[in-house]
Structure 1
Amino acid sequence: MEPFPLRVFVNPRLRVPYSRLVTFPEGCESVAGFLAHVPRFQAVQISGLDPRREQVVWQASGWAARIIQHEMDHLQGCLIIDKMDSKTFTNIRWMEVND
């Protein structure tokens, strides 16, 4: 994981350049306090308009590609619970709940 600058895409479109999937633990504030393993494409290309209405394209891989796919899922009304390996669904705040 490494930081990358904030990017804004208006009317984003996602393209998958190759179909290699990578499964990794993922969380979401929409389902706060839980983690699950979610398969995502290793690399994606996102295109759309920037805030100045200029066409932009970003080739992303690794962590950035995972975040893009996660956020694009939200635009489709999809959460990690819709894509996760249900056997890996874990409450990460179980100690707080049991106190």
Structure 2
Amino acid sequence: MMKNDQLISVKKIMIHHDLDEAFIRNLETYQLVEFVVKDTDRYVYVRQLPRLEQIIRLHYVLEINMEGIDVIRHMIDRMENMHRTIQQLKNRLSLYE
């Protein structure tokens, strides 16, 4: 397994960040984080931890509800995609300079 495919237990995340089960259910409902179920336990890919921690800050520190977080994450994803596209276009353009 590659490092990015490693899993971390949702229980450990809940303890570390003092999260409740309702918050985790909301993450699943809004599909904000991809969960993996193995032997009735839930896990999250390690590569998703920065995204999860950002969502935790948005919700608990800035008090943004799940609907708002869903919109914010969608906008961030679109911006990241646009950034990748711009970088690809710059790279292609530099070939002609």
TM-score grouping bracket, smaller chain normalisation:
under 0.3
Higher helix residue share = 2
Q: TM-score, normalised by structure 1?
A: 0.23
Q: Considering Cα pairs closer than 8 Å and 6+ residues apart, tell me whether 1 or 2 has the greater RCO.
A: 1
| Structure (1 or 2) with the greater strand fraction | 1
> Given the two structures, how large is their TM-score scaled by the length of structure 2?
0.24
Rg larger for: 2
